[in-house]
Amino acid sequence: MRPPSTAELARRYHVSKTAVLGLLTRHGVPRRFQSMTATDIDRAERLYRAGHSLASCAKLTGFPATSINRALNKRGTPMRPAGRPSNRTQ
């Protein structure tokens, strides 16, 4: 069983994520943040180029859409305008 996320703790105790993160930091609890590896970025790029949205890529990879967007921009992947439908086939 995995520990709850900061968002889950914030909802459970009716406090902000910032408050949860502050408490965790003060008590020396390590963060779970994991950077995207080259393999993770390759997979996200394949999904995005196949027509998935950044939100869809996020759901399929488990990484935030903002992290995927940043990684693909850094890599030089051509990005579609936001909100534009893709040509992806179901």
pLDDT digits (tens, 9 = 90+) for 20-79: 989 988 998 887 767 889 999 999 999 999 999 999 999 998 888 999 999 999 999 999
**Average pLDDT of span 12-23:** 92
**Average pLDDT of span 70-89:** 83
Residue 89 has pLDDT above 70, yes or no: no
Which amino acid is residue 19, in one-letter code?
A: A
Residue 83 neighbours by CB under 8 Å, 6+ apart: none
Does 85 or 10 have the greater pLDDT score? 10
Residue 47 has a pLDDT of 97
